[in-house]
Amino acid sequence: MLAKRIVPCLDVKDGTTVKGVNFVNFRDAGDPVELGAEYSRQGADELVYLDITASHEGRKTFTELVKKVAANINIPFTVGGGINEMSDVERLLNAGADKISVNSAAIRRPELIDEIARNFGSQVCVTAIDARMEDGEWICYLNGGRISSGRKLFEWAAEAEERGAGEILFTSMNHDGVKDGYANEALSTLAGVLHIPVIASGGAGKKEDFRDVFIHGKADAALAASVFHFGEIKISELKQYLRNENVNVR
Active-site annotation, residues: 11, 130
Of the candidates 57, 65, 70, the one whose C-alpha atom is nearest the C-alpha of residue 104 is 57
Conformational region of residue 218, where left means phi above 0, alpha means psi within -120 to 50, and beta covers everything else? left
CB-based burial label for 33 (10 Å; 0-12, 13-18, 19+): buried
Distance of CA 102 to the CA centre of its chain: 10
Q: Which residues pair with 223 in a beta bridge?
A: 7, 201
Residues with Cβ within 8 Å of residue 100, at least 6 apart in sequence? 78, 79, 80, 83, 89, 92, 93, 116, 120, 124, 125, 126
Cα 14 to Cα 58: distance, rounded to the nearest angstrom: 14
Distance of CA 167 to the CA centre of its chain: 10
